[in-house]
Structure 1
């Protein structure tokens, strides 16, 4: 663990003990505007934190309150396709766990494999498919690296999220998320394969962080913002710009729902 990162955080936010860590994906950046008394620290000032290299992903740690909870919000993540490594978020999550976080709330933008899950929908992850079969735990020692991934996405937290989203007038579906390494989008044949494997949505993130979180004994809640239909399921032309524009269109509501969920979670 990077002690200097902990020292830098303690100096900027003395006495603050976050219980919930949040990773913001594309479309979810509006959450930081809903925080109370936020403190912003650039990743560049925190040893071991990554330099996100993807449009739509910031590079800041935000500390403050959302509703009943003190939170640490990672605005942006490092994706495996940026460097080829899949452990880029290990140090940030390790630091936040050491600071007191017990829960990791993950967010992402994803493509839908279900007609009943159109763009603009929100989906809570009930499970995932690690399509590349890559792990951020490779090279670590000890028995702890053999992480049990049953209920990797905490059922109790997910059940709360469904109810809390409904209070905001939003139906939160539950589904299986498939991790594709990227950065290219999937082919129509790959989308058909993933649907037959049982996936409901597909994206290029989240799974490595979930593996790391379970290794660190953090409970995980993860939400997808559906920005498009998978390749071959509509006439839209897929691009990163298209993903960002669709995420921006639905992001205000998604961030408001996320703030309500985080602020009202019961952790004990």
Structure 2
């Protein structure tokens, strides 16, 4: 099912939130980053559990809510929380949020996530703009019959992450004095974290950060013709020769520490998108 085109789902959203604001930017808050919602003004919110047929997020710190409002004066459609392959959902279900936003008329999508840094020069608590990705999940949301009304059978991914939006983010970060790294994101299935050998492999493949989300959503977004910007909060640094143990609680705590900086950046970037 394409949740963005499901009549019952769209009707339920309209009945609670009204029409999606014209020109709204879609925004997805990742692990430990749900507090971004607090910065959204004039907010109207509903639980995604109240959207017929919409999958429910089971991941910690993912609230499962859709809100309309403004950030930096620009209309936004915010998804607090997302779905992951490791929760047992099919790729098409993981893409449900993006397809919902596309069905609501969103053309520009900003994704955030928590990721482990692979570049030893990066710092925990820092931010990285994703310039490209490596899909190591073995999954793709476009497998199966293609709906030509949504997008082409073989969508081009040569510019999966918008150079235009990337330039805006870089320029804005510089003006705000925020260090914004740039790098390649490796998307893995999870939920287990990486071994030292896997970390070495990811670095050899050219990845600068690793996480368990985003890739499936970006593929679905590009299929639907959306322009994408993605920013990772780097919650730890994976050093394969001296790997430190980490926990989800530590990841969430670091993400929350960086949340204010990320929110400040997004509040300035989104109006310029």
Aligned length: 265
Structure 2: gaps (5+ residues)? none
Partner residue of 2:236?
228
Question: Where does residue 124 of structure 2 map in the other structure?
Answer: 119
TM-align CA RMSD:
1.7
Distance in 2 of aligned mates of 1:124 and 1:105: 11
Please name the residue that 2:133 is paired with. Answer: 128
- Determine the C-alpha separation between the residues in 1 that align with 2:160 and 2:211: 17
Q: Is 1:209 aligned to residue 213 of structure 2?
A: no
For 1:223 and 1:44, locate their aligned partners in 2 and report how far apart those are by CA, in whole Å: 26
Distance 1:265 1:247, change over 3 A: same
Show the counterpart of 1:240.
Answer: 248
Per the TM alignment, residue 117 of structure 1 is displaced from its structure 2 partner at its CA by 0.9
Quick one: distance in 1 between partners of 2:239 and 2:181?
Answer: 21
The answer on whether the counterparts of 1:31 and 1:256 sit within 8 Å (CA) in structure 2 is no
Output one character per residue of 1:6-63: Cα deviation in whole Å (capped at 9) or x when no partner.
Answer: 2222222334425211111013222211111101100111123221111111110011
Which stretch shifts more, 236-245 or 142-151? 142-151
Please give the secondary structure, in 2, of the residue aligned with 1:137.
coil
Shift of 1:224: 0.2
Deviation at 1:209, TM superposition (A): 0.1
Most deviating of 15-24 and 117-126: 15-24
Distance 2:145 2:21 in 1: 28
Separation in 2, partners of 1:104, 1:146: 20
Tell me the distance in 2 between the aligned counterparts of 1:233 and 1:118.
Answer: 17
Change over 3 Å in CA distance of 1:23–1:233 after alignment to 2: farther
Matched-pair contact (CA < 8 Å) for 1:187–1:231: no
Does 2:18 align with 1:14? yes
In structure 2, relative to structure 1, the CA distance for the partners of 1:231 and 1:53 (3 Å cut) is farther
**Contact 2:17/2:46 (8 A) holds in 1:** no
Describe the shift of the 1:63–1:111 C-alpha distance in structure 2 as closer, same or farther (beyond 3 A). Answer: same
**Residue of structure 2 in register with 1:45 after alignment:** 50
Q: Does 1:82 align with 2:87?
A: yes
Pair 1:50–1:163, CA change in 2 (3 A): same
Which of 70, 93, 97 is the matching residue for 2:102?
Answer: 97
In 1, Cα distance between equivalents of 2:14 and 2:137: 37
- CA deviation after TM superposition for structure 1 residue 235, in Å: 4.9
How far apart, in 2, do the equivalents of 1:255 and 1:88 lie? 27
SS of residue paired to 1:245: helix
Q: What TM-score, normalized by structure 1, do the two folds share?
A: 0.93
Contact 1:27 1:250 in 2 (8 A): no
Aligned to 1:151, the other structure's residue is in SS state: coil
The reply to whether residue 32 of structure 1 matches residue 37 of structure 2 is: yes
Q: Is the 8 A contact 2:20 2:77 kept in 1?
A: no
Match of 1:227, SS?
strand
> Separation in 2 of the partners of 1:26 and 1:168?
24
Match of 1:173 in 2: 181
Residues of 2 paired with 1:51 and 1:59: CA distance? Answer: 7
Match of 1:69 in 2: 74
Aligned to 1:3: 7
Structure 1 residue 90: deviation in Å?
3.1
Higher alpha-carbon deviation: 84-93 or 125-134: 84-93
In the alignment, which of 136, 145, 159 is matched to residue 140 of structure 1?
Answer: 145
